[in-house]
């Protein structure tokens, strides 16, 4: 049912001169121009939550310059058990919550505490009466930008950007061997017969991965590589043995590479920036392994020892705001 009061999460649009010049004459055409999903809008119309100048409206109603269109969001019940959890918030507005997901926690798993439970607690504490809707997924051992939509309207709006490849998802990782070029990798992928691995198969779903090698490094013997950025050495804990080890590595110059044997090059590692155009499970790990450059520490797709953690970070997302139409960049550096 329609609300008599307005809330901060209401979505409001003002019909501007450029909208009129574009030929927008009805509420329905206005909503289409704003990329509002018709399936979601049908529900809002049925619940009388779409208002034109403060009065309930319908898709066929005419609009004029300076008209105000208001979309009210229905209340929902939180669909996960709230669990107190420390969350690192990178960005938040009326429609999105973007967190820096840590390594070692799943996004949404049945039967165990996951990030969804922490988001549910945050929603409860802040009076956000919404379901938890993830727009992207990260594996347990992948960190960085995880995006949550606060409403069905926001979910459909940004999901369309993802499907149209206008919602940019950037990652940073470290791979085995020398990888310094830039390339587009189109591969069909499908879950393997063991139900765990994903494989490159002709009958798989299409994927697109774009990578850019940013540097080649030599790991100092007996230490671990600290992060995917290749910037600062640091102290990290080896999760398998519990030993504190110093992370240190040295960038290898082009002149040095030119004099190295292939065997020596195989011992090096490369930092790589990656953009995902599709979002299949294990896509980056499968693509890099297929190219002969598995992620450092990836025991599933490489030849690493079990128990070592690979380096993969969702470093940046770029999207167009639902409300303002402006480009927004959120980074987890």
**107, 137, 164 - which closes a domain:** 164
Please give the Cα distance from 219 to 100 (Å, whole number): 27
Identify whether the C-beta of residue 146 lies closer than 8 Å to the C-beta of residue 136. Answer: yes
In a domain, 204, yes or no: yes
Q: Crossing angle of helices 152-163/38-46, nearest 10°?
A: 170
* pTM score of the predicted model: 0.86
Mean pLDDT, residues 19-31? 96
Residue-number span of the structural domain to which 36 is assigned: 11-71
* Strand 143-149 relative to strand 312-320, pairing: parallel
Do 22 and 127 share a structural domain? no
Q: What is the pLDDT of residue 110?
A: 80
**42, 71, 100 - which closes a domain:** 71
Q: Is the pLDDT reported for residue 5 higher than 80?
A: no
Do 56 and 114 share a structural domain? no
Active-site annotation, residues = 139
Which of 33-42, 98-107, 216-225 has the weakest average pLDDT?
216-225
- CATH number of domain containing 187: 3.30.2350.10
Mean pLDDT, residues 71-99? 95
In a domain, 19, yes or no: yes
Mean pLDDT, residues 62-79? 94
Number of domains in the chain: 3
Do 233 and 124 share a structural domain? no
Please give the Cα distance from 285 to 87 (Å, whole number): 26
Q: What is the pLDDT of residue 236?
A: 33
**111, 140, 164 - which closes a domain:** 164
Do 178 and 269 share a structural domain? yes
Mean pLDDT, residues 300-309? 72
**Mean pLDDT score of the chain:** 89
In a domain, 80, yes or no: no
Do 276 and 233 share a structural domain? yes
Mean pLDDT, residues 17-45? 95
Task: Please tell me which residue, 244 or 144, carries the higher pLDDT value.
Answer: 144
In a domain, 195, yes or no: yes
Burial class (CB in 10 A: 0-12, 13-18, 19+), 89: exposed
Tokens at 157, concatenated = 């709006």
Q: What is the pLDDT of residue 2?
A: 54
Do 182 and 45 share a structural domain? no
Q: What is the pLDDT of residue 239?
A: 32
Q: Is 246 helix (H, G, I), strand (E, B) or coil?
A: strand
């Amino acid at each position: 049912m329609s609300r008599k009061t307005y809330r901060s999460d209401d979505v409001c649009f003002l019909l501007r001169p450029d909208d009129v010049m574009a030929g927008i004459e009805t509420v329905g055409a206005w909503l289409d121009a704003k990329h509002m999903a018709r399936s979601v809008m049908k529900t809002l119309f049925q619940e009388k939550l779409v208002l034109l100048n403060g009065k309930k409206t319908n898709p066929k109603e005419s609009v004029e310059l300076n008209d105000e269109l208001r979309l009210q969001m229905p209340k929902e019940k939180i669909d996960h058990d709230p669990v107190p959890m420390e969350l690192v918030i990178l960005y938040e507005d009326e429609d999105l919550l973007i967190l820096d997901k840590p390594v070692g926690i799943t996004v949404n798993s049945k039967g165990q505490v996951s990030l969804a439970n922490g988001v549910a607690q945050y929603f409860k504490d802040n009076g956000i009466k919404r379901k938890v809707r993830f727009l992207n997924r990260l594996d347990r051992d992948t960190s960085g930008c995880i995006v949550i939509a606060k409403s069905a309207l926001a979910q459909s709006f940004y999901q369309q950007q993802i499907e149209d490849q206008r919602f940019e998802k950037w990652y940073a990782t470290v791979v085995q061997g020398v990888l310094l070029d830039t390339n587009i990798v189109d591969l069909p992928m499908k879950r393997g017969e063991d139900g765990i691995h994903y494989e490159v198969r002709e009958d798989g779903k299409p994927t697109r991965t774009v990578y850019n090698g940013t540097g080649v490094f030599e790991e100092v013997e007996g230490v671990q590589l600290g992060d995917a950025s290749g910037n600062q050495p640091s102290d990290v804990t080896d999760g398998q043995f519990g030993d504190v080890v110093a992370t240190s590595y040295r960038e290898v110059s082009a002149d040095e590479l030119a004099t190295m044997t292939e065997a020596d090059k195989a011992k090096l590692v490369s930092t790589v920036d990656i953009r995902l155009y599709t979002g299949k499970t294990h896509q980056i790990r499968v693509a890099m392994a297929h190219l002969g450059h598995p992620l450092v520490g990836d025991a599933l797709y490489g030849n690493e020892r079990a128990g070592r953690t690979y380096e993969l970070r969702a470093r940046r997302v770029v999207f167009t705001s639902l409300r303002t139409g402006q480009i927004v960049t959120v980074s987890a550096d």
